[in-house]
Structure 1
Amino acid sequence: MTQALEIATLPMEAKGPLEIPTDSEKEKEKDVEKDPAMVMDAEISEKSSVAAGEIQDDAVPSYSEEEYRKLKRKADRYLLPLMWLCYGIQQTDKTSIGTQATFGLSKDTGLHGQQYSWLTTVFYITYMCFEFPSNIILQRYLMGRTLSCYMLCWGVVVLCVGFAQNFTQLVTLRALQGFFECCISPGFILVVGSWYTTREHASRSLVFQSANAGFGVIANLILYGIGSVQYKRGSEFQAWRYMSYFLGSMTILVGCLCLFLLGTPSEVRWLSPEEKKIANARILSNNTGHDKTGIKKWKWKQARECLIDPCFWFAGLNAFLNSVPNGGITAFGSIINTNAGFTNLQVILLDIPKNITSVLWFVCIGIITSRKKNLRLYFMMVSVIPPVAGFAIMASLPNEPQYKWTKWTGFFITVPCVVALFLAWTLIPSNVAGRTKRTLTSSFTFVGYCVGNMVGSQIFKAKDAPRYIPGTAACAVCFGLEFFLLVAWRVILVTRNRRREKQLAEQGISEEERIERGKQLGEQDCTDFENPYFRYTM
């Protein structure tokens, strides 16, 4: 039963191509029984004829490798720096709450008990609630314009945080921030899927995701400069407010830039009509169609398919397990390090080598995965092992001066953990075909991400200060469980690919035929289950 679902074929009731003269009907039926590929050819022909009426430019012209390379280089020049900047700003806007807390945010706004934790929790509650509707909006309307409008709105919210006077105002603004920031990560994953081939998904996604640490170096230096003013002028200069003024203003400026440059191939103004055709033709090898051929109608069949696909559940659970530690460290990392004996300015500076190491690890993975196939899950497994030891060190050592550098080392070796989350996101455009199925998988993954961050911010309780032993120990356990989940995920994908290769070999279908048929079904919004020529990336 499972195998039948995984290698599902199209309905075998194609009428047009399979109608034959009565006098040779029996003879033809015998031929079909001997060669099942004839049935598939007939089905593809029928679906292609139907799609021709729905999709303009159905006959995709062929282009030279040089034309494809030229288009790819142009896309890299425009998109990668812009997405890197946007993603870096978003991460800094989201996580700066931890730095601001060490510069008096809690004291100046009268926070007490778990109120500070709720500033992170409420962010992810609204992030989660509006994740799915935002995903639908992104795929139904102009993606670039929609993302830009969201970015402008959250820039205004971050700016307003600097004017907050109490918990009510802060928690309202953080809720609005989660609402507007919910679409940036899934949106960028969809943009990458509409521009790049499957082999390039990991490296291009890692470029903008490296801003999580890379832009952090720049932001930390600026925040350090703002924070140092407080040391000179005294507590009357509330540095955390000026951090919000700076971050909010910068977000608004970059959002304006995105209005003119960000989008899918059919949206952007910096491609000629011919270049747009080249861009769409280039990604047909992904077997997922392109941004014009995707059928926007909701398909309940694809939604049901998600429920029986173990990889759908793996994606969400992996995001949850990785995000529990992420939520805790985002909200409490700076506090844990100041409790260990560092000043708030030292904590900002100590984040810089951590961020640089993270960028180098991202670059290494990006280069290797762009040259060699099926290594993503291996890198994800390797990246969750050091954090287990890191959180164990933080949980076990006391906050004594002689241990502060050892505890910081434990904090430092948690650096690779985010790779297991970010690379999992790149598997969505690479491994999930069908617009409805991809939308649901993306949404469910980010639901896991949100719930994990909410849990992570709540397991670090005020009563456990200053060491927060239960919270740090729970983070170590999450990474251990994530490792075994990643192993199971890869085993399933390898098994699926082998079964499909075996079936196609029995039918005598060559690799060239497989690729061509896969493209045709991909253009018709078939899922990876419905397309037997689809190959999973690992």
Structure 2
Amino acid sequence: MSQGKTQDKAVVEHLEDNQSATFSEDVEATKQNRGIDQEIAQFAAQHAVEVDEATNKRLLWLINKRVLAVMLVTYFIQSLDKGTMSFAAIMNIQKDANLHGQEYAALTTIFYAGSLVAEFPVNILCQKFPIAKWTSVVLWGITLALTAVCKSFAALMVVRYLLGTFEAAVQPSFLLMTSMWYRRAEQGEYVSYWYAMNGLQQMVGGLMSYGVSHINNPNIKSWQVLFMMLGIVTVLWGAFIWLYLPDSPMRAKCYNDEDKTLMVERVRANQTGLQNKVFKREQAIEAFTDIQVWFYVLMQILNTLPTSGIGAFGNLIIKDGFGFDVLQTSLLSIVQGTVHILIVTFVAYVARRTKQTLYVMMAICVPMVATTSVLMAVPNGRSTRVGLLIAFYGTFWFNGVAVLLLSMITRNIAGQTKKSIVLTMSLIAWAAGNMIGPQVFQTKDAPRYRVGFTVHLAFYIAQIIVFFILRLILARRNKIKVEAAKQQGRSGGEVNLDNAFNG
């Protein structure tokens, strides 16, 4: 659905009519200006300024080595910290902490309960405070390290809830940062980069789990070492990004004023706003009455319920359901991570080339339906476990759906108030789906959890239907926009960008 190339062209077409003012005159005029955020007004030109390809590449390099690098490492660490419980499960944390029945599943559910409760205030505060300072990495690192001293279900529930609360800022912050620093046509690609860190986490986590599982000390368990080690690394990284990551193009002390202006101008064609700390009531109403927003909410629930169930129980299914031992299961996490990265990269590439995001999302649901059916029907056995493992990896296409959904939200929602509300609604739905997901895997259904996979199958089929309906709605909207543009005497791709920052 992205029209990035069309919009970039629109900037050039619009510039041909606005070459009378010099670059510095445009910036000065904007500083005395109209109802846009004052920080943006300091650096945005009054009329759209063309950024040539060589300059664009230079700016991207400056942005990537500061912003993208931090997002990649931070999301990797967050994914690793969040997934540590899955590795601890095959190191017998259930036995050491006296967990029974659904208590292990509850540890994942309570994590997302913390995220759900925190999402609304976190998203509001992301708009009010410097975004790079609001990721609370140090706090979640301390909480993770404290997990090592928990030896009861109650204690684990407390630290897992706090961990979910402190990590709630990461995804909304990164989505806002992606829309702030990158062009609309680039956003799907860059979201896929940091989202792919989930896969790298599985690879590195598998190796760490393999190494730590060899610890045989009566005074400290291997899972305790894992939590302490990752907690300390997270705290150190959190202290680093506080100093290194710029809050926005306008506040970045690491760039000169001309580069700041060019960075602001290169995202003008997004027409989704860049920053505005003023709450706009009309945008809030629009957020709650726009049907596509409610489709995004529904899509989040339909996709995250299977995702979280697999995330919490995946290693247990491989170990107990398919018959692999602890060390083999740890090493197979490397394969899991590789599959995740390949899927996310491939899906983002295809969506970018075809510009048919929802069709791609529909297509990748088909292998999820097929492989889940295999997991439900094929019995256990040494002759079938490799095939079952391959089918299990085939369900990982849901990661492709997740990254395309995130990129659609950043691209298609304009206005900072509306975007903040939509992100909040979407991430609350994300947390709700993740809370419910582990609960469909009941202890009585172990080790293959066929009832859980039956629920997943129904959700995959529902996703195909929802994606198709949303595409019909958006196609109709686009047709109406093109007709309206023609009636105003403009071509469908020609857009006036003078008010692009009035978000």
Same fold (TM over 0.5): yes
Q: Distance in 1 between matches of 2:388 and 2:327?
A: 17
Contact 1:261 1:268 in 2 (8 A): no
Contact 1:204 1:366 in 2 (8 A): no
Deviation at 1:464, TM superposition (A): 1.8
| Cα deviation code 1:163-193 (max 9, x no counterpart) | 1111111000000000001111111111010
Q: Distance in 2 between matches of 1:369 and 1:403?
A: 34
* Number of equivalent positions: 466
Q: Distance in 2 between matches of 1:384 and 1:269?
A: 45
| Cα deviation code 1:74-122 (max 9, x no counterpart) | 1122222221111111111112211101101111111112111110111
Deviation at 1:406, TM superposition (A): 2.3
Q: Distance in 1 between matches of 2:241 and 2:37?
A: 34
Contact 2:199 2:338 in 1 (8 A): yes
Closer, same or farther in 2 for the Cα pair 1:339/1:499, shift >3 Å?
same
Q: Paired residue for 2:502?
A: 524
Deviation at 1:235, TM superposition (A): 6.4
Q: Paired residue for 1:379?
A: 360
Q: 264-273 vs 159-168, which deviates more?
A: 264-273
Deviation at 1:463, TM superposition (A): 1.9
Which of 98, 108, 111 does residue 86 from structure 2 map onto?
98
| Cα deviation code 1:26-65 (max 9, x no counterpart) | xxxxxxxxxxxxxxxxxxxxxx974279644564473541
**Which residue identity is paired with 2:447?**
P
Residue 215 (structure 1) aligned with residue 215 (structure 2): no
Residue 319 (structure 1) aligned with residue 307 (structure 2): no
Q: Paired residue for 1:286?
A: 270
Q: Paired residue for 1:32?
A: none
Q: Distance in 2 between matches of 1:332 and 1:201?
A: 31
Deviation at 1:315, TM superposition (A): 0.7
| Cα deviation code 1:370-408 (max 9, x no counterpart) | 5x3623223322222222222222222333333322221
Contact 1:199 1:373 in 2 (8 A): no
Q: Paired residue for 2:341?
A: 359
Unmatched 5+ stretches in structure 1: 1-47, 526-538
Which of 138, 155, 168 does residue 182 from structure 1 map onto?
168
Closer, same or farther in 2 for the Cα pair 1:409/1:376, shift >3 Å?
same
Q: Paired residue for 2:332?
A: 350
Q: Paired residue for 1:3?
A: none
Closer, same or farther in 2 for the Cα pair 1:266/1:59, shift >3 Å?
closer
Cα RMSD (Å): 2.0
Deviation at 1:520, TM superposition (A): 3.1
Q: Paired residue for 2:470?
A: 489
**Which residue identity is paired with 2:495?**
I
Contact 2:339 2:393 in 1 (8 A): no
Q: Distance in 1 between matches of 2:121 and 2:337?
A: 33
Residue 151 (structure 1) aligned with residue 137 (structure 2): yes
Which of 135, 138, 157 does residue 171 from structure 1 map onto?
157
Q: 474-483 vs 262-271, which deviates more?
A: 262-271
Within a 5 Å distance, the mapping from 1:26-425 to structure 2 comes to: 50-51=34-35, 55-56=41-42, 59-60=45-46, 62-65=49-52, 66-147=54-135, 150-229=136-215, 233=216, 237-262=220-245, 263-291=247-275, 294=276, 296-340=277-321, 341-370=323-352, 372=353, 374-425=355-406
| Cα deviation code 1:293-331 (max 9, x no counterpart) | x2x222232222123211101111111011111111111
Unmatched 5+ stretches in structure 2: 1-31
Q: Distance in 1 between matches of 2:121 and 2:233?
A: 27
Deviation at 1:134, TM superposition (A): 0.4
Q: Distance in 2 between matches of 1:195 and 1:59?
A: 17
Q: Distance in 1 between matches of 2:395 and 2:271?
A: 36
Q: Distance in 2 between matches of 1:354 and 1:391?
A: 16
- Length-normalised TM-score, structure 2: 0.88
| Cα deviation code 1:430-461 (max 9, x no counterpart) | 11011111111111111111111111111111
- Length-normalised TM-score, structure 1: 0.82
Identity of aligned residues (%): 27
Deviation at 1:498, TM superposition (A): 1.3
